[in-house]
Amino acid sequence: MARICEDLLFPLNRPADEEGCHWKGGAVATPAGFTGAYATFTEAGWTALTADPEFGGAGLPKLLGFAMEEMVSAANLSFSTYPLLTAGAVNALARHGSPELRARFLPNMVQGVWSGTMCLTEPQCGTDLGLITTRAAPRDGGSYRIDGTKIFVTSGEHDLTENIIHLVLARLPGAPTGTHGISLFLVPKFLVGDEGAPAERNGVVCSSIEKKMGIQGSSTCVLNFEGAVGYLVGEPNRGVRCMFTMMNDARLGVGMQGLGLAQVAYHNAREYARIRLQGRALRGPAFPEQPADPLIVHPDVRRMLLRTKCMVEGMRALAYWVGYHLDLSEHHPDPAARQEGADLVALMTPIVKAFFTDQGFEAANLCVQIHGGHGYIRETGVEQYVRDSRIAQIWEGTNGVQALDLVGRKLPMHNGRLLRRFFHPVAEFLDAHADDPHLGELVALEAKAFGRLQQATATIAERSLRDPEEAGAVATDYLRLFALTAVGFMWLRMAEKARDRLVEAGALPGKIRGGGSSAGVPAATAIADPAPAIVSERNVAFYQAKLTTARFFFTKVLPETSGLLATIMTGAAPVMALDAADF
């Protein structure tokens, strides 16, 4: 995957941004090089990585899929949208489709021969799916006639695959109003013949593609369904529930897009700061043999770099922790452990989607800032990361909607059971490490943030019973407070591992804590560390850098939770008091 990303996808990133997609007569051509890259990507088996072996997948852990999505997104975000949407469609169809639909469509989708989309948004409605007007009428033979228009359909038309499988939300005759009357349908670009190959063209046409701020290599389409043949997926009027399978997968994937963009922005900023000569260090010349010192000697540049570094590494740990629990939720032999994993994934999905994409955009902006004027011009290519990263905060449910999902659905769900999946392992870790001679300072700072999160949670729960706007007005602040605390928990666990390795190497005095299972991992599935290896000099520097970066996070970033709590405690009044006419 690293070779594909470095040698194939990344070199296409800027040319694809310059060229964009081409629409003509209902057909879309992707930028030069995309068709060959996609063929290489699929032939190497990457679209099948985590899919069910029953349909030709490799059946590998979802955790590996998270790593793949981060890398592909960092290399070429536009390209990443094509397999990401297909993977989501595969999961939705595998979970809700009939055996006939699964057998007919999934093998080619898993292999990447066919791709997938989700068709939700219409000209008159976006997040409020209850307003959709696309219609579905029964036809002879068990199929349905689909009529309507969908907009903002990512990869809705392109030249990478021989067929495109659209998952479309539509209303059946006599269906209830609102979201309770929406059904999900599979609508292929080409109908599939008895032999399983594409046959005649279906009644779905791309009438245009959008001119966008970023992701120019990703085709964003307006699709017109005119008498198209569709097949019901799941039960009638339960389409939103079925589609949420795909949307939740996509939200985690979009979170990985934010992480990938933050990572590549950091790499660019770091390398530029190392080579760009600008002024002298405040303490005096750091490199007197040169006409000036590199940017990286300056405190404010280091502040921006360290902030991005600590967020990238902390978010990656959090993402992989969530990915691990996603695998537990699907494959653990103990039903209780599966439920615990599912609960944690459900709780953390809006946090991963919203916080990671916010940080991706912030990292891209800091990258431009570090480059100065050279970041603002097209030549260096880093301004593209700002434009590309902005969409991730919007699609698959805006980040404000994610915050509302967290406070409105996830917090009260099952009488707070989801919250306990996070709160309990954090509390246990803090109690167990409060007196740690190497980590005690960091543990104390995390404990303060955790206390703020607990206080904010209780306050929101109590106030929202009287007025739902109380939760809505502080939802974004609460999600950020939760995310920073969660990243802090990850940094504590990374600091613990780094401390243990440095003790092994004799670089730190003390003993390694032993016994028990890893925090947040069921005892039955805790993974024991391999036999300690000799820690090389290079690895000593690596682990020391981990501890130094952790200290920056806890002392320079995590204190933001104090201000977030203060804004949460002020409630809804400052937000809702101004009359609409006075804005």
13: CATH: 2.40.110.20
In terms of domains, do 232 and 245 share one? no
> Is residue 528, in this structure, part of any structural domain at all?
no
**Residue 514 pLDDT level (bands cut at 50, 70, 90):** very low
pLDDT the model gives residue 182: 95
Counting residues of the chain whose pLDDT is more than 70, the rounded percentage is: 96
Beta bridge partners of 183: 170
For 22-62, the pLDDT digits (tens) are 999 999 999 999 999 999 999 999 999 999 999 999 999 99
DSSP 298-358: SHHHHHHHHHHHHHHHHHHHHHHHHHHHHHHHHH-SSHHHHHHHHHHHHHHHHHHHHHHHH
- How far is Cα 159 from Cα 20, in angstroms, rounded to an integer? 13
pLDDT the model gives residue 128: 83
Orientation of helix 468-504 relative to helix 299-331, angle to 10°:
100
Active site residue 537: no
pLDDT the model gives residue 527: 41
In terms of domains, do 377 and 485 share one? no
In terms of domains, do 357 and 501 share one? no
Is 60 within 8 Å of 198 (Cβ atoms)? Answer: no
In terms of domains, do 75 and 142 share one? yes
pLDDT the model gives residue 507: 85
Smallest Cα–Cα separation from 551: which of 494, 509, 513? 494
Residue at token pair 């928990």: 489
Residue 524 has pLDDT above 50, yes or no: no
Burial of 392 (0-12, 13-18, 19+ CB in 10 A): buried
> Is residue 525, in this structure, part of any structural domain at all?
no
> Is residue 218, in this structure, part of any structural domain at all?
yes
In terms of domains, do 222 and 248 share one? no
Is 492 within 8 Å of 439 (Cβ atoms)? Answer: yes
Domain that holds residue 313: 239-397
pLDDT the model gives residue 511: 59
- How far is Cα 460 from Cα 476, in angstroms, rounded to an integer? 12
Segment 3-21 mean pLDDT = 97
Among 377, 397, 417, residue at a domain's last position: 397
> Is residue 161, in this structure, part of any structural domain at all?
yes
pLDDT the model gives residue 523: 37
For 429-485, the pLDDT digits (tens) are 999 999 999 899 999 999 999 999 999 999 999 999 999 999 999 999 999 999 999
Orientation of helix 383-390 relative to helix 10-19, angle to 10°:
80
Residue 515 has pLDDT above 50, yes or no: no
Among 237, 263, 295, residue at a domain's last position: 237
Residue 460: both structure tokens together: 């929101």
pLDDT the model gives residue 127: 81
| Catalytic member of 313, 396, 446, 470 | 396
**Residue 516 pLDDT level (bands cut at 50, 70, 90):** very low
Among 339, 364, 397, residue at a domain's last position: 397
Is 371 within 8 Å of 267 (Cβ atoms)? Answer: no
Segment 287-306 mean pLDDT = 97
In terms of domains, do 378 and 426 share one? no
For 542-567, the pLDDT digits (tens) are 999 999 999 999 999 999 999 999 99
In terms of domains, do 133 and 50 share one? yes
> Is residue 523, in this structure, part of any structural domain at all?
no
In terms of domains, do 487 and 420 share one? yes
Segment 192-203 mean pLDDT = 91
Q: Running DSSP on this structure, what letter comes out for residue 277?
A: B
In terms of domains, do 44 and 138 share one? yes
- How far is Cα 418 from Cα 496, in angstroms, rounded to an integer? 26
Distances in Å between the Cα of 574 and the Cα atoms of 192, 457, 566 are 57, 19, 13
Return the sign of the alpha-carbon dihedral for residues 226, 231, 236, 242: negative
For 155-175, the pLDDT digits (tens) are 999 999 999 999 999 999 999
Q: Specify the length of the chain in residues.
A: 583
Is 419 within 8 Å of 457 (Cβ atoms)? Answer: yes
369: CATH: 1.20.140.10
Segment 234-245 mean pLDDT = 89
In terms of domains, do 363 and 405 share one? no
Residue 139 has pLDDT above 60, yes or no: yes
- Say how many domains are in the chain: 3
Distances in Å between the Cα of 372 and the Cα atoms of 275, 278, 382, 408 are 14, 11, 11, 41
Indicate the SS3 state at residue 169. Answer: strand
Is 478 within 8 Å of 449 (Cβ atoms)? Answer: no
Phi, psi dihedrals of residue 532, rounded to the nearest 5°: -55, 130
In terms of domains, do 426 and 393 share one? no
- How far is Cα 62 from Cα 322, in angstroms, rounded to an integer? 10
Phi, psi dihedrals of residue 520, rounded to the nearest 5°: 80, 0
Smallest Cα–Cα separation from 225: which of 118, 135, 146? 146
For 300-343, the pLDDT digits (tens) are 999 999 999 999 999 999 999 999 999 999 999 999 999 999 99
- How far is Cα 246 from Cα 258, in angstroms, rounded to an integer? 18
**Residue 519 pLDDT level (bands cut at 50, 70, 90):** very low
- How far is Cα 480 from Cα 358, in angstroms, rounded to an integer? 10
> Is residue 32, in this structure, part of any structural domain at all?
yes
Is 138 within 8 Å of 151 (Cβ atoms)? Answer: no
- How far is Cα 70 from Cα 5, in angstroms, rounded to an integer? 10
DSSP 323-335: HHHHHHHHH-SSH
Count Cα neighbours of 578 within 13 Å in the Cβ-side half-sphere: 6
- How far is Cα 217 from Cα 388, in angstroms, rounded to an integer? 10
Is 356 within 8 Å of 260 (Cβ atoms)? Answer: no
> Is residue 504, in this structure, part of any structural domain at all?
yes
Smallest Cα–Cα separation from 91: which of 51, 120, 63? 51
Smallest Cα–Cα separation from 165: which of 191, 144, 189? 189
pLDDT the model gives residue 157: 98
Spatial neighbors of 523 by CB under 8 A, at least 6 apart, are 516, 517
Residue type, 359: Q
Residue at token pair 């209902």: 26
Residue 131 has pLDDT above 50, yes or no: yes
Count Cα neighbours of 330 within 13 Å in the Cβ-side half-sphere: 16
> Is residue 517, in this structure, part of any structural domain at all?
no
Residue 55: both structure tokens together: 């349909």
Of 305-309, 512-516, 537-541, the poorest mean pLDDT is in 512-516
Residue at token pair 């008895």: 194
In terms of domains, do 20 and 38 share one? yes
Segment 63-84 mean pLDDT = 97
Residue 166: both structure tokens together: 């659209």
Indicate the SS3 state at residue 405. Answer: helix
- CA 446 to chain centroid, in Å, comes to 24
Q: Running DSSP on this structure, what letter comes out for residue 416?
A: G
Burial of 47 (0-12, 13-18, 19+ CB in 10 A): buried
Segment 117-133 mean pLDDT = 90
Orientation of helix 10-19 relative to helix 34-43, angle to 10°:
140
Smallest Cα–Cα separation from 47: which of 4, 104, 96? 4
Is 184 within 8 Å of 168 (Cβ atoms)? Answer: yes
Residue type, 366: L
Smallest Cα–Cα separation from 310: which of 263, 369, 269, 365? 263
Rounded to 5°, angle at Cα 226 from 222 and 229: 110
